Structure formats: C-alpha cells, structure tokens
Amino acid sequence: MENVSVPGFQYFMRPFLVVLADNKVKHFKQIIEEVSDLEKLTDAQRKVKLDSQTATLVANRLGWVRTYLFKAGLIDQVSRGNYKITDAGLSVVKDKSIIVNVKYLKSLNSFQKWMDTFNSSADVNVENNESVVDENRTPQELLETSYNTIMNEVADELLDRIKQSSPAFFEKLVVDVLLAMGYGGFDENSGQVTKYSGDGGIDGIIKEDKLGLDTIYIQAKRWENTVPVSAVRDFAGSLLSKKARKGVFITTSSFPQSAFEYVNSIDPTIILIDGIQLTKMMIEYNVAVAKSKVYEIKRIDNDYFEI
C-alpha cells in the first residue's frame, strides 16, 4: 500500500462539487463513492489509510474538502451527514475556467472570514503562512506526519544513547521494558538482572508468577553488526540447560532471516527483538522517555446533537 498514490485533497474539490451538481441531497458516504467512481480511483487507492489507520486517505481528504467548501459557501449541510450544492457552487461547476483550490476559496468572502479566525486566535498571517495548508495533504495528515517524524527522531536518539551505555545498564533497561509491558508485574522484584559472571549466557530473568513456576530468560546484547545466528543458537542452548521454555533475545542491531527461521524450528519459544523494535516499545510503554507536550484534538460530538 505504501507505493499507491492518491490525489491531493485540493484535487478533489471540483469533483466534490460535480457530484452534487445534480442538485440532490447526498450523504457524505455516497459522495465519497461517487467522487471515487468519477475519478476512477482503483480499489488499492480507495483502501490506502492514514498513518494512524483511523480512516482511509480518500475519506479523510474528502472530509477536509467538505469543510472547506462549506466554509466557502459552495455547499450546504442539510442535516447530519447530508449535503447539497448552493447556487454559488453551481456557478463554479459551470465555469470550467475556475481552478477550485484553496487559493480560489480565499477569494470568497465567507471563506476568508473563516480563515481570518486563525489570524485573531493565533496571531499569524494566514495568507502567507504555507503551513496552514498543503497542496496535497490535509491538516490531519500534516499533523500525523509531523508526529511520526518526531517519534522517529526520538527513536533514533534513544538507540544512540543505548549504544553508548554500559552493558550493565542495557541489561537493566531490557528488564525494565518487559516489566513495563506487563510481564511479571505482580511485584517490584519479579524482574532482575543476573550476575555478570557465570550466568550461562542469561542476562536477565522475569518471573511471571509469584512462585517462579514460569520464567522468561533474557539475553541483551549491544551489537553494531547483524547478530550471527550462532549467538541465537548459544542462547537456545542456555535455555535448554535451564529447562526453560521462554526466552527473549534483545539487541541494538538486527537479526538475519536465518535467525528467525532457527527460532521457529526449535521447541523453546524465543522472541527476537531488534534495535528498532526496542525503541518503539520504549516509547509506547514510556521507558526512558517523558511527555514533552500534549496537543488535544477536538471533534464534534454528533451524539450530542441527536434528538
């Protein structure tokens, strides 16, 4: 799906008006279907989702088109989810010379009044502020892209800091991550780092129950190069010597495909976690990271308006 291209949200402005040009009241879902058919979007294009997986890209972009056209006075909301074109919208459809985009909408008084609210609330010049609108992406897409960029930067920095840490710190870190995920969370002593000598290749253990009847054994290795499959085999041997059934091998680098094939072929369950996966888990479960700032996005509570 990553390679499937979907037209930018401004591209859909005229098609949105065209499907309403028959003067019929249509539900937003119907408009999405008719615009998709009109523009001959493929099934793959219609299925592409936002990074957050909360909606399809087409539905999200048409949702913002709906908002912009409504604020511009080109469509009216007849009832919840139902829309109709206005006389002004019909005039735009008939005039093929008009390129319907944000630049054109800014020339309309009703849209400009709405945009001016950004000036008064945020003290910015909307006309010259390119961050307010993107030619192809909606504000929600821009927000999600920015969020993902920040998270990726945090993940990269985390991995760099981990690689600079001592082996003892890294071993404690991986135990903390697994505890934060809920493994062995019955008390604060359910996870521990093993002694640094004579540990049989085991760097940490997590007791999943109070009696220690089920234990997860951990190997944590800071590697720069790809972990050789022989290291995974040695870890499996350590598990067998302890009659263990569960193991987690965590590294700052990566594993070859042969390592995954090997762990799938043996009886003890061994989970392989590379550096990228580790940092994602650290961010998700708030290990070694802290909240910087929270932006709360509001939406209309449609249920509130139900009679």
Domains of the chain with bracketed CATH: 9-137 (1.10.10), 161-284 (3.40.1350.10)
Q: Tell me the pTM.
A: 0.59
One pLDDT digit (tens) per residue for the chain, 307 residues: 457 889 988 999 999 999 999 999 999 999 999 999 999 999 999 999 887 777 899 998 998 899 899 989 999 988 878 999 999 999 999 999 999 999 999 999 988 887 776 554 444 343 444 444 556 777 777 787 777 767 877 888 888 889 888 888 998 899 899 888 888 765 556 666 655 444 557 888 888 776 666 889 999 988 889 999 999 999 999 998 888 889 999 999 999 999 999 999 998 899 999 999 999 999 999 999 888 777 777 777 766 665 4
Phi, psi at 110, each rounded to 5°:
-65, -40
What pLDDT does residue 305 have? 64
What pLDDT does residue 273 have? 96
What pLDDT does residue 14 have? 96
What pLDDT does residue 303 have? 65
